[in-house]
Structure 1
Amino acid sequence: MALRTWLALLLAGIAGSSWANRPLNTDTADTIAHHRCQFEPFVAVDRAQGMSAQHTSTLQLNCGVSGSTQLGVAYSRRTSDEGREEVLGLGGKTNLVELADDRTGVAVNYTIAAARDSESGWRHETTAATLIATRQLRPDLLGHLNLGWSRSRADAQDSTTWAAALEWSLTPRVVLSAEAYGTDRTRAWLGAGVWCAIHDRFSVNVSHGVQRASPRVRQTTAGFNFEF
């Protein structure tokens, strides 16, 4: 998978520095509480028929800087037989309409990212923004919709990003999710995930996704979230 293809996947999957609540790639309209932070690392393995597996490690830190805005930083490093590639992103998310039982929550996220590989140094690669809507469909079910824009400096082109997800609270400590996401220039991804709270401030998550491309790409991820 070429660097630019991986960047498109990375930004479609964790678009914005809400860096969507794991294990979702779809973003949610809520923000982290003021003076609270979340450290959210995860690992991902991508496999496609006839290609070597690609391993990506991501570190994310997001903090609430006001009652309606969070800012964050994320670093991802991908390794494969083709070499090493890295992405560093800065961004945030601002809540515009607070989610309520009878009201759709609305937010916007924004990101700027730089990249480098084994042959070149750091360079500005992508700028992106996404409009986010979240609706409580029933007491134990949330729906999320994302529609965004991203600009690739390397490709000198704009892309439309999109995502849709459902979250079902099986119990207060276990949430199941299903989603679809992608861009107007790539085939869609379909994914499912599980989030499990171990402690009030510590949770773990896993996900599996499939891109309906040729060859078909499969991605498995695992991570945790620590709030402080």
Structure 2
Amino acid sequence: MTTEDAGVLEAGECELEVYAGHERQRPEGRARGASVQGSCGVGHGVQAALAAERVRVRGSEDAGRDEGGLLSFKARLLGEDDDDPALALVGGLHWGRHDHEAFRRDSLALGLAGTLPLPQGFTAHANLGHYHDHAERQRSTFWALALEKALTDTVDLGAELYGDDRGRPWRGLGLRWAATPSLTVGTSYAVQAGAGRARLVTVGVTLGF
């Protein structure tokens, strides 16, 4: 899901995430994209990640190909055990380009991610932070709320609400299956509120090693 949890990889643990998505934009636009991200725990409750992405937009004023990368981190502030409430500082620096323009730094984000285990297999997550878009010279506050339910030992169902102070919020549902102890498969569907709603479908795979 879009909502970030507060879990941090331990030193020496790594994950490889591959993601693909299709968004139907308003009024006739469509976007398809994919990304790959590698994350590793570097010790002292900190993990670092590096991602690369590519998005193709059609049928809108933003039509073209966008490429970019993201350097991000997560640092544990509270919560040593999985059963404890957890809080983490999260941040990321994004750079990208449109079509064949030169790469440039285009955004910086910093915020907090919290996770709260609840009875009967439920887990709640919350995000709150600040986002600076260098390209558009705009600042905004982003937020997200999510609730997960463990349906079985290997399948989780999640619902989330997320957005920022410059647009209408998104509502989404997600399903995650732990196929093996090291391989997880997930999919999600989200809809943006308002007339002519945008829709987003994603599928992703995470490999731990």
Calculate the TM-score normalised by the size of structure 2: 0.93
Show the counterpart of 1:203: 184
* Equivalent position of 1:160 in the other structure: 141
Deviations 1:60-114 (A, max 9, x none): 1111111411000111110133210012110100010016587421101010010
Identity of aligned residues (%): 31
Query: What secondary structure does 2:7 align onto?
Result: coil
Task: Describe the shift of the 1:227–1:123 C-alpha distance in structure 2 as closer, same or farther (beyond 3 A).
Answer: same
Matched residue SS, 1:120 = coil
Instruction: Look up the match of 1:36.
Output: 13
How far does the alpha carbon of each residue in 1:168-206 deviate from its partner, in whole angstroms, 9 at most, with x for none?
A: 111110000000001100110000000001111011100
Matches within 5 A, 1:45-56: 45-48=22-25, 50-56=27-33
TM-fit CA distance, 1:50: 3.6
RMSD: 1.5
- Contact 2:25–2:31 (8 Å) recurs in 1: no
Structure 2 unaligned blocks of 5 or more = none
1:6 corresponding residue in structure 2:
none
Query: What are the superposed Cα offsets for residues 18-61 of structure 1, whole Å, 9 maximum, x if unpaired?
Result: xxxxxx11111111121011001110000135413210101111
* Secondary structure of the corresponding residue to residue 216 of structure 1: coil
TM-superposed deviation, 1:167 = 0.8
Report the structure, 1 or 2, having the larger helix content: 1
C-alpha distance 59-101 of structure 1, shift in aligned 2 (>3 A):
closer
* Residue 189 (str. 1) matches residue 187 (str. 2): no
Could you tell me which runs of 5 or more consecutive residues in structure 1 were left unpaired when the two chains were aligned. Answer: 1-23
Q: Is the CA contact 1:147–1:161 (under 8 Å) kept in the aligned structure 2?
A: yes
Alignment of 1:87-102 (within 5 A): 87-98=68-79
**Distance in 2 of aligned mates of 1:67 and 1:198:** 29
2:88/2:113 contact within 8 Å kept: yes
**Shift of residue 124 of structure 1?**
0.7
Residue aligning to 2:128: 147
Q: Which residue of 1 aligns with 2:46?
A: 69
User: 74-83 or 173-182: which moved more?
Assistant: 74-83
- Matches of 2:154 and 2:85 in 1, distance apart? 24
Partner-residue secondary structure (3-state), 2:151: strand
Contact 2:74 2:88 in 1 (8 A): yes
TM-score by length of 1: 0.86
Distance 2:26 2:106 in 1: 28
